[in-house]
Structure 1
Amino acid sequence: MIGKRRGPHDATIEINRADMGKDGDDRGRHAPCPHRKPERAMDAALRQPHAHHLRTATPRGRRRKQGIRMNLFSRYDGSVAFLSSHDDDWARLIDLVGPCRHDPKAAREPYEALVRAIAYQQLTAKAGDAIVGRLKRLFDNSDFPTPEDLIATEFDQLHSCGFSASKIATIKAIARGTLDGLVPTRDIAAAMTDEALIDRMIGIKGIGRWTVEMLLMYSLERMDILPADDFGVCEGYRVLKSLPEQPKPRELREISKPWSPHRTVAAWYLWRIPRERGNVLK
């Protein structure tokens, strides 16, 4: 296992990650999880209208895309309202950061989500994006390499993508686990409880609780996940409460119980607390 993680969102503030790089997503602050949104076919069509519709279709397409995104994000309004009412510190943080823009990638299978999480582990979203991009180029820019692809790929090729030796061992173990049935399909994973899935996945060499929590947050869209081992989440809470040091993961899990069942959104905000110039929330 690789030491304490920085949130997939650690670089969130600087990069506005697409929530888990390419996503602009939300990869928290562990190694900022990557998230750049894959463009929907409908959106692409709206952005490239027929020539004689060019003047009207482009702005219309933009408005429609913005509307779709706003509708998707509105599902967090209840969580945001709940956290805002928790105490004044949370209210100030939410007022500073603005609406929640957590952006999971629900179409991804657990295999892909786990490999991506390892790629971004302890890195910025930009660095993780670069590694995943080089990995995909090994396979002619396929959507994503299959488990068979990873198992057959030589160490030096994966190392050239930016994976460390320990990460190469882990992603190959994930690939083998997928073929053996240890890593479940998305349909099977969706029917499992959070803890059942965590217990099952950490049996894979190199997979820890944080990695599975990223899967739960970004692929399975679970709404009550607080990655307490994540550096960014711990540091965010320290700043939020002006503490002299970060809480221990076990302490933070206990502290976060009153935030349930909205802890995924809580983590999203903790990942985005500005850290420069002291506590700007006071």
Structure 2
Amino acid sequence: MANTALNSTLSQYDADWTWSEARGHFESVDPEFHAVVSRLDDPIDVERRSAFESLARAIIGQQLSTKAAQTIWGRFVALHGLELTAEGVLSFSAEMHRAAGVSGQKHGYLQDLARHYTDNPDMFDAVESADDAAIVSSWTTVKGLGPWTVQMHLMFQLRRPDVFPVDDLGIRRSMERTLGIAKDAPKSVYTKRALQWGPFRTAASRFLWDNLDNQPK
């Protein structure tokens, strides 16, 4: 059964939620979705990284396949040595980064991220008490960081419990295939369907991605 006391008090800042708590909540509020979730293993938590490293990696991986992104990221890190820092990124020219496979546009994005970070590291590192919307609003002032990229950091690195990235096509396709939502419905339809999953919409999103990967092609 769901822990209703926890569900009612879990805040958007609480990174200590568990998959079992999320499953219990879905069972209580949405049996149809819980039936989907019950067929899936708990998603695997990712390696935790600093905000600067996480966002730099996200920029490099934009519009690339997973394999290509991993290859270029490996070259980029090797180019910078043992520790990736904002100061180090600022010291590298576009030509130097291009040797690792980083485009000129992404070099500009990385430079802007590094400038923001060196000017105000607390903007990225001291966000424990900042709400999700405030972080999205603040970080998207950096060139190359859109709402989706920031939401991924909130979900995977900060483990914020109640993030629902409705702009993610995989999330929407998974909901269409398993929950009867019409293909390419207005985004408000997906958002409304997900409201009952709060405050565990991050967990719901992770399950939706895994469910899409487990469906017959």
Structure-1-length-normalised TM-score: 0.64
Off by >6 Å, runs of 4+ in structure 1: none
Conserved? CA contact 1:111–1:183, under 8 Å: no
- Provide the rounded CA distance (Å) in 1 between the counterparts of 2:184 and 2:24: 26
Q: Give 5+ residue unaligned stretches, structure 2.
A: 1-15
Cα 1:115–1:89 shift into 2, 3 Å: same
- Provide the rounded CA distance (Å) in 2 between the counterparts of 1:223 and 1:205: 26
Q: In the TM superposition, what whole-angstrom CA distance separates every residue of 1:235-269 from its partner, at most 9, and x where no partner exists? A: 22122224441344444333321111001101101
> Post-superposition shift, 1:277?
4.0
- What is the match of residue 152 of structure 1? 91
> Post-superposition shift, 1:92?
3.0
- What is the match of residue 77 of structure 2? 136
> Post-superposition shift, 1:184?
1.9
Residue 178 of structure 1 pairs with residue 121 of structure 2? no
- What is the match of residue 94 of structure 1? 37
Select which of 125, 131, 143 maps to 1:205.
143
Conserved? CA contact 1:84–1:91, under 8 Å: yes
1:166 alignment partner, SS class: helix
Cα 1:185–1:201 shift into 2, 3 Å: closer
> Post-superposition shift, 1:183?
6.3
Q: In the TM superposition, what whole-angstrom CA distance separates every residue of 1:210-240 from its partner, at most 9, and x where no partner exists? A: 1111121122111111111112112221222
Of structures 1 and 2, the one scoring higher in RCO (CA 8 A, sep 6+) is 2
Aligned residue pair count = 202
Percent of aligned pairs with the same residue?
Answer: 25
- What is the match of residue 20 of structure 2? 77
Letter in 2 for 1:172: Q
More helix by share: 2
Cα 1:158–1:246 shift into 2, 3 Å: farther
Structure-2-length-normalised TM-score: 0.81
Cα 1:245–1:194 shift into 2, 3 Å: same
Cα RMSD for the two superposed structures: 2.6
- Provide the rounded CA distance (Å) in 2 between the counterparts of 1:88 and 1:124: 35
- What is the match of residue 6 of structure 1? none
1:3-22 alignment to 2 at 5 Å?
Answer: none
